[in-house]
Amino acid sequence: MHSFPPNPPMSDPSKSMTRMDSGPLPGRPSGGIHVPWLCPPGLLHDAPYDPCVLYPAAALALVLYSTIWGAWAWRRLSSLGYIRLPMSDAEAAVGDHHPLTGVRKARPGLLTCIRWCLTSIKVLLAIDLVTLTVIGGSRGIWVGVMYAWSFVALFAFGINRVVFNEEVKKTETFSWMTAGYWLVYFITESFAFSNWIMNALSNAISVIDPFDEYLFASWMLRYILVMLLVITAFVVHPYTRSAPFNPTDAQASRGRSATADAPGTASLMKSATAKLRTLLPFLWPVNRPGLQILVGLALVCLFAGRVIVVLTPMQYKEILNELTEYRFPTRSILLFCVFRFMQSGMLSNLQSFLWLPVGQYTTRHLSVRMFQHLHSLSLRWHVNRKTGEVLRVLDRGTSSIVSLLQMLLFTLLPVIADISIAIIYFIVEFDIYFGVIVIVTMAAYIFLTVLITEWRTAFRREMIELDNRTSQIGVDSLLNYETVKYYGAEQFEIQRYDKAIANYNKADFKSSASLQLLNVSQNLVITLGLLVGLLLCAYRVTHHQLTVGDLALFVTYLLQLAGPLNWFGTMYRVIQQNFIDMEKLLALFDEDADVKDVPGAKPMVLQGGNVEFHDVSFSYGEGQTALRNLSLNIPAGKTVALVGESGGGKSTLLKLLFRFHDVSSGTITIDGQDLRQVTQTSLRQAIGVVPQDPVMFNDTLMYNIRYARPTASDEEVYAAARAAQIHDKIMTFPKAYDTVVGERGLRLSGGERQRVAIARTILKNPSLILLDEATSALDSSTERLIQAALQDLCKDKTTLVIAHRLSTIMSADAIAVLKSGQVVELGTHEELLAKGEGGLYHELWHKQLRNEGAVGLGVSSTPQSAAASPAATPVLPHHGHHH
């Protein structure tokens, strides 16, 4: 290890080297006589800022600021109720957790860093005081301005720490006035920094002795720490507004962690471990030995690259050393070029090539898993989701997976390896000073990167939320194209979309501006590290302790190391962005389905199709009860119609039977089998549904009809279409069954979509039929066309139908009238009408007569003749009355 040579003796105080920051010590008078200098002459030597003026001025500034700021802080906290002397018993019972309403709270990790920095600065200042007293006295010197400066700074930092702790304790953050002290101190130390640099450039470094080294090291540490404090002041959000202490608010907040992160602002890296566990199976593909071999080869390339990073500057050193000895370095040049070629791209491109199949597998596998999971979620989740936002989350999340894995494996790991190797190499081959330079530079760089990136997380999150919102608005508007046209709302939609983009642009500006601040800060740290390292290296070369080759090695290696450091900043930002992009995608894996197969669930065995609702209750949420102790039996092969006013629970009954939801209480059985005890797949295979508003895939008519049974032949599809009275219409289209129906089937009319849905159900040939307003979109002529199709579909099958047009269910075996989630009447059409004016069905029937007219219904106003009216031909088959 190399060391500084002893300082040559000096006899003239005026020619001593200026020692800035804590001030240079003047020359040592002979005889060791103690000289109590207030401002020795040596302080004036080669100093751009007169230390005899600088230190008293700085001390005065700290005293004034501390006095004004301390008085302001005490008065402010006392007036707002944060400092109470004395505290009443009632307040003591509440406790001293007095949160500010509406105050943004600083992250606990950043507050811990601030406390650590403040404590470290106080310790350094205290050590300076002891050093100046003991060592300065032993050398016969006592510099008053330096001693006064250190004492004032230590006292002011003590006040700062007390107020800081009080503010954090009461408000969970700190004020700008507190941060202002750090800025004032940083400015005064910046003048000292200028003095150190100017003196180093104008004097021989050889005059520095170990005491000078200590003074410079102490100042450098304080300067870095206070720089971090100033940066943190802009990272941590200060007070947004103040509010007096409210005991009620304090009581309401008891039990909540005072340092808990607000929802949506928690550090992403806190949950990084859990997210990495989710991604771990994709880093090492299980049961895929071929891909595992590729991962292993990619890792070999990765570690080979780390060796090349060390060998390249070493080989460059050999070239210069051989040239210094006037030997032609043929072998060294060839090896250097080979190492350089491997370092500059060959190994990295090879590892990217090897990783490509692994990345593709990861994207496909995780995307399929997520798609499967989304289909396993319950109807409740899908009703509440926003289609545009979900699609955006899926797109972003899956595309960021490969990028994230590559960053973790091929950027983070190399950076850690390069940093570790560099530290060990410089300590072994040079000395501890060079290792310290590398450690301090990289530690400051990493700390600064993490600090500012954590601050940027909120901006990035806000930007993504607004981007999702913009996408959702656009998709929603286009999906409702007809509605927009109906109300002439084009301009409103354009303005709404424009406002959403404007809000996104504001968030994007804040995110981009904070990124530029991060880049500038990173470059500053790297530059300072290079400056200190090159000065030390140049000193060693000029004193024949290092060779020119060593200097070249140091510069080359340090510049190489700057690359991984820059990649660390980029890597950290990209990982943050990818984690944000994947945050909602990974959260979807935690979404638990409301409806799940119980362990050991068995396939349903149909023996006829008897359906029974026994004492069923169901609620969509608090205060949204849909069914109340409902009981209803649907015999096998019979048709039961559900009627009643909107909100009575008709559609809910169908959803429960199809098991889109599970009952809150009671049971639903099919042939005695509880629906919760059979598999969902077997249940839904046995049920055919014709919804009120059928939705088609944006594909061909052949695809949409065959969707019910993908193995069906073309002839079976044609037969189902003929039975649904849609085949002839399809054949009039230019592309017939190859006609694309458009998104959600909007290229078809309502009646055509309804008949396609009926054809789909006919092709499925289920044992149970659920008809939810199956003829609601049909006109009278079209309705008559599919009456026979529906009769064939429902023949000898258990059928449950919802109808608002009562004439369509007159021939049902039983009609259940629902009101407020209960069956209030049950019987045939004639039996329910026979109850007279006291019956709900009778009231509904005559209400339709009045609203639509006897001609519209095709019946007379007399209930007895209504059922027999030929114009009221029923849509449903008649199996014989049973109730």
Q: Is 5's pLDDT higher than 50?
A: no
pLDDT, tens digit, 9 for 90 and up, residues 587-633: 777 777 778 888 888 898 888 888 999 999 998 876 678 888 899 99
What separation, in Å, do the N-terminal and C-terminal C-alpha atoms of the chain show? 101
When pLDDT is averaged across residues 855-862 and rounded to a whole number, the result is: 39
CATH number at residue 742: 3.40.50.300
Could you tell me if residue 242 is inside a domain? Answer: no
| Residues 64 and 191 placed together within one structural domain of the fold | yes
Nearest of 11, 31, 231 to residue 139 by alpha carbon: 31
**Range with the lowest mean pLDDT among 27-31, 467-471, 706-710?**
27-31
User: H or E segment at 223?
Assistant: helix 210-235
| Residues 636 and 661 placed together within one structural domain of the fold | yes
pLDDT, tens digit, 9 for 90 and up, residues 495-517: 999 999 999 999 889 888 888 88
Could you tell me if residue 605 is inside a domain? Answer: no
Could you tell me if residue 251 is inside a domain? Answer: no
CATH number at residue 335: 1.20.1560.10
pLDDT, tens digit, 9 for 90 and up, residues 813-824: 899 999 888 889
Q: Is 403's pLDDT higher than 50?
A: yes
The full DSSP string for 72-103 is HHHHHHHHTTSS-SSPPHHHHHH-S--PPTTP
Q: How many angstroms from the chain centroid is the CA of residue 84? A: 41
For 800, the 3-state DSSP assignment is strand
| Residues 115 and 81 placed together within one structural domain of the fold | yes
| Residues 364 and 290 placed together within one structural domain of the fold | yes
pLDDT score of 502: 93
Q: Decide if 388 contacts 471 (C-beta within 8 A).
A: yes
pLDDT score of 376: 82
Confidence of residue 172 (pLDDT cuts 50, 70, 90): low
The sign of the torsion formed by the CA atoms of 113, 114, 119, 123 equals positive
Confidence of residue 370 (pLDDT cuts 50, 70, 90): confident
Give the pairing type, strands 611-619 and 687-690.
unpaired
Q: Decide if 688 contacts 797 (C-beta within 8 A).
A: no
pLDDT score of 498: 93
Confidence of residue 207 (pLDDT cuts 50, 70, 90): very low
Could you tell me if residue 248 is inside a domain? Answer: no
Considering its fold, how many domains does the chain have in total? 5
Q: Is 242's pLDDT higher than 50?
A: no
pLDDT score of 256: 35
| Residues 627 and 579 placed together within one structural domain of the fold | no
pLDDT score of 669: 92
| Residues 300 and 360 placed together within one structural domain of the fold | yes
Confidence of residue 458 (pLDDT cuts 50, 70, 90): confident
| Residues 673 and 716 placed together within one structural domain of the fold | no
Q: What are phi and psi of 242, to 5 degrees?
A: -115, 155
Domain of 211?
13-25+36-92+105-235
CA gap 437, 562 in Å, rounded: 13
Tally helices (H) and strands (E) across the chain. Answer: 29, 10
Q: Is 475's pLDDT higher than 70?
A: yes
| Residues 507 and 418 placed together within one structural domain of the fold | yes
Q: Decide if 432 contacts 356 (C-beta within 8 A).
A: no
Could you tell me if residue 343 is inside a domain? Answer: yes
Q: Decide if 791 contacts 876 (C-beta within 8 A).
A: yes
Integer angstrom CA distances of residue 667 from 307, 629, 663: 69, 10, 7
Could you tell me if residue 30 is inside a domain? Answer: no
| Residues 715 and 859 placed together within one structural domain of the fold | no
> Which carries the bigger pLDDT value, residue 470 or residue 400?
470
Residue where the block lists tokens 């092969």 = 637
Q: In what order do the strands lie in the sheet with 822-827?
A: 687-690, 768-772, 798-802, 639-643, 814-819, 822-827
User: H or E segment at 666?
Assistant: strand 665-670
Give the side-chain half-sphere CA count within 13 A for 622.
0
| Residues 804 and 843 placed together within one structural domain of the fold | no
Could you tell me if residue 455 is inside a domain? Answer: yes
Q: In what order do the strands lie in the sheet with 673-674?
A: 625-634, 611-619, 665-670, 673-674
Q: How much is the CA Rg of the chain, to the nearest whole Å?
A: 40
| Residues 83 and 178 placed together within one structural domain of the fold | yes
CA gap 519, 570 in Å, rounded: 9
The full DSSP string for 6-19 is PPPP---GGGSPP-
| Residues 844 and 820 placed together within one structural domain of the fold | no
Q: Which residues have C-beta within 8 Å of that of residue 549, sequence separation ≥ 6?
A: 317, 318, 319, 320, 321, 324
Q: Is 346's pLDDT higher than 80?
A: yes
Q: Is 92's pLDDT higher than 60?
A: no
Could you tell me if residue 879 is inside a domain? Answer: no
Q: Decide if 403 contacts 578 (C-beta within 8 A).
A: yes
> Which carries the bigger pLDDT value, residue 248 or residue 126?
126
Please count the residues of the chain: 883
pLDDT score of 495: 92
Highest mean predicted confidence (pLDDT) among 234-243, 278-287, 417-426, 573-582 = 417-426
CA gap 471, 392 in Å, rounded: 8
Q: What is the mean pLDDT of the chain?
A: 73
CA gap 797, 804 in Å, rounded: 22
Share of the chain above pLDDT 90, in %: 5
Q: Is 185's pLDDT higher than 60?
A: yes
